Structure 1
Amino acid sequence: MQTDNSESSTMSISIALITPTLGRETLERTLESGLSQLAAEDEWLIVGDGPQPHARQVVAERADERIRYWEHADAASSYGNAHRNCAMGAAQADYFLFVDDDDVLLDGALDAVRRKAASGKPLMFRMDYGPKNCLLWRERIVREANVGGAMFVIPNRSGLFAEWAETARPGMSDFQFITRTLDLWPPDSLRWCEDVICRCEAHGKGLGGTVTQGKQAVIHPTANIYQSTIGAETKVAAFVEIGGATVGARCKVQAFAFIPPGVTIGDEVFIGPHVCFTNDRHPRAVGEWSGESTVVEDGASIGAQATILPGVTIGSGAMIGAGVTVTRDVPPGETVSRSPW
C-alpha cells in the first residue's frame, strides 16, 4: 500500500456525500460543516431510517438542489447498511464519502479529497474522535479499530466497491465494507492520506434523544449509544451498541456487546465480549414487534458470547458462563454453565 502526498488540482472531481440518519439533532451541525465546501457538481444524499420528520425538515430548510433526502425502511438491516447501499446506487458523482449524522467535516476536507482523488484510487484519510482526542488511523494498516467508514473515500466505479452488509459481530460493518472493497482492487491500490477530514463529536445523540453519562464513565469513541443512561465509573469498550437501555454504576461492558431497548442493568455488572441481549421472542423482518424487558441485577456477571432472551431477570451476583443461552430467570447467586438455561 502506498502513501499519497500529491497535491494535484482536481476541482473537476465531484463527490457524493452519503449520510444515513436516525433524525439526530446533530444532523443540522453535520450539514452546516459541509455545505460551504460543496462544489456545483457535488451531491449530498441523506437517507432516513424510516420516517424521520426532523431530518426531512432540516433538509427542506436548506433548499439546496445538491441535497437530496428520502426514507428507506429495512427491518432486516442494521441502521446505516441498507441506507448507504441505497444511496450508492443513486449517486452520480465520481467519489463516495460516507458521513454519519453526528460527524463534522473539517475545514478544507472536500478540497483535500479532490486533490487526493487525482490518483483514481481508494483513499484512507484520518478522523478525529473528538471526545478522546483519538486520531485514526494510527498506523498504515487496515485492521479493526484503526480504520472506519468515514475515513474511507472510494471511486464510484461499478464492480470496484462492495455492499454494506450485515455482520455476525455488531459494529463490524465498516471494517467488512472496507476489506471487501479493497479485495476488488489490485494489491497496493489503497492510498494513505495524512489529512484529517472529519471529527466525531458525539456518538450517542440518536433517535432524537440524549445519553446521560455519569461522572468518570469511560466510553470508547467507537461505541454507538443512544437514548440511554450510563452510570458513574462504568467502562464501555469498543464497538458496543446500547440503545434505549440503562446501565448502572461501576459496570464493565466489553467489546461488541449488544444491549437493545428494554434492558436494565444494575450496578457493578460485568458484560463480556459479544454478549447479545434480545428484546423480542418472535421477531419478524416486517410487522409489529413485541418488546419485553430484561433485568440484570447488581453484581451479576455474564460471560463472553452469552445470549440473553427477553423477559428474564438475572439475579444479583449470578454468574452466566461463556456461550450460554439464557431463556428463563436466573436466581441470585446462581452459576449457570449449561446451555440453554
Structure 2
Amino acid sequence: MSVWSWLDRGASQPSRTTPASRLVARAGLARARRHDGVTAPASCLLHPEARIHPRDGRIVLGERCLIAPGAVVQGDVTFGDDCSAQAYAVIVGYPGGRVTLGSGVRVAPHAMLIGANHVFAGRDRPIHAQGLEAAPITVGDDVWIAGRVTIVAGVTVGSGSVLAAGAVVTRDVPPFSVVAGVPARVIKTR
C-alpha cells in the first residue's frame, strides 16, 4: 500500500472532500506538472499514482479533468473540459497519432486508446524493427467509453456516442451512435 492509498483511504478516484484527499490531489497535480510538456489547470484532480508523462510530446488537460490512480496518459494527448480517465485506462498518443478527447468524455477502467500500430508487413525483419504507423484518434464531446473498450489508431468517434463494454472500435463512429462488438458496429442511435 502506498502512502497515497493510505491518505485517500483507497478511493478509486481523487477528490477534495477531506484534508488528506486535498493533499493527494495537490501532489497529483504537482507530479504531472513536473514535466515541461504537461499543461493542467488547478481545477484538475490527478491522482499521484496515475502515470502522466508527455514522453517527447505534449499533454494538455482541460478544466476539471479527473485522472484516477493507475491510469496511464502518455505522449501527445489533449483532453477537453470535464473529462475523466478511470483506473487502468491507457491513453497514449504519438507524433502524428495524437489522441484528442472533446469535453465531457468519460473513459472507464481498462479502456485503451493508442494512436499507433506496429508495422508488420515485412517477413524478413522482426516486427519490433519495422517501426510504428501513427494515426490520430479523435473523440467528440459527451462520449462514454465503457470498460475494456479498445479504440485503434485512425478512428474518429462522433459526439454523443456510447461505446459498449469490451468493444473494439476499428472504424469511425457516427455522432450519437451506440456501438458494441468485436469489431464494433452501430447497434442503435441515441
TM-score (norm 2): 0.71
CA drift of 1:232 comes to: 0.5
The equivalent residue for 1:317 is 160
Unaligned stretches of 5+ residues in structure 1: 1-125, 128-134, 146-198
Alpha-carbon RMSD across the aligned residues, in angstroms, is 2.6
Which position in structure 2 is the counterpart of 1:231?
62
In structure 2, the residue matched to 1:252 is 84
In structure 2, how many angstroms separate the alpha carbons of the residues matched to 1:330 and 1:302? Answer: 12
Q: Separation in 2 of the partners of 1:236 and 1:137?
A: 15
1:220-277, Cα deviation, whole Å (9 max, x unpaired) = 1111112301110111111111112001110121111111111000100010100011
Offset at 1:136? 4.5
Choose the corresponding residue for 1:279, options 111, 115, 122.
Answer: 115
Give the AA of the match of 2:49: T
- Higher helix proportion, which one? 1
Look up the SS of the partner of 1:285 in the other structure. Answer: helix
Aligned twin of 2:31: 202
Give unpaired runs (5+ residues) of structure 2: 13-26, 120-126, 185-190
Judging changes above 3 Å, is the alpha-carbon distance between structure 1 residues 225 and 137 closer, same or farther for their aligned structure 2 residues? closer
CA distance in structure 2 between the aligned counterparts of 1:215 and 1:266, rounded to whole angstroms: 19
Write out the 4+ residue segments of structure 1 that deviate beyond 4 Å after TM superposition. Answer: none
- For 2:173, give the aligned amino acid: V
Residues 1:332 and 2:163 are matched in the alignment:
no
Distance 1:252 1:137, change over 3 A: closer
Residue-by-residue CA offset, 1:188-223 (whole Å, 9 max, x unaligned): xxxxxxxxxxx98524645xx331112411001111
| Partner in structure 2 of residue 268 of structure 1 | 104
Contact map agreement 1:204 1:225 (CA 8 A) in 2 = no
Structure 1 distance, partners of 2:32, 2:103, is 23
Contact 2:33 2:39 in 1 (8 A): no
Deviation, structure 1 residue 292: 0.7
Tell me how many residue pairs correspond in the alignment.
Answer: 151
SS of corresponding position for 1:138: helix
Greater radius of gyration (CA): 1
Instruction: Flag the 1:226–1:204 CA change in 2: closer, same or farther, 3 A.
Output: farther
CA deviations 1:60-86 (Å, max 9, x no partner) are xxxxxxxxxxxxxxxxxxxxxxxxxxx
Secondary structure at the aligned position of 2:118 is classed as coil
Opposite residue 333 of structure 1, the aligned amino acid is F
Matches within 5 A, 1:120-199: 135-136=3-4, 138=6
Q: Which residue of 1 aligns with 2:71?
A: 240
What SS class does the counterpart of residue 134 from structure 2 fall into?
coil
Secondary structure of residue in 1 paired with 2:31: coil
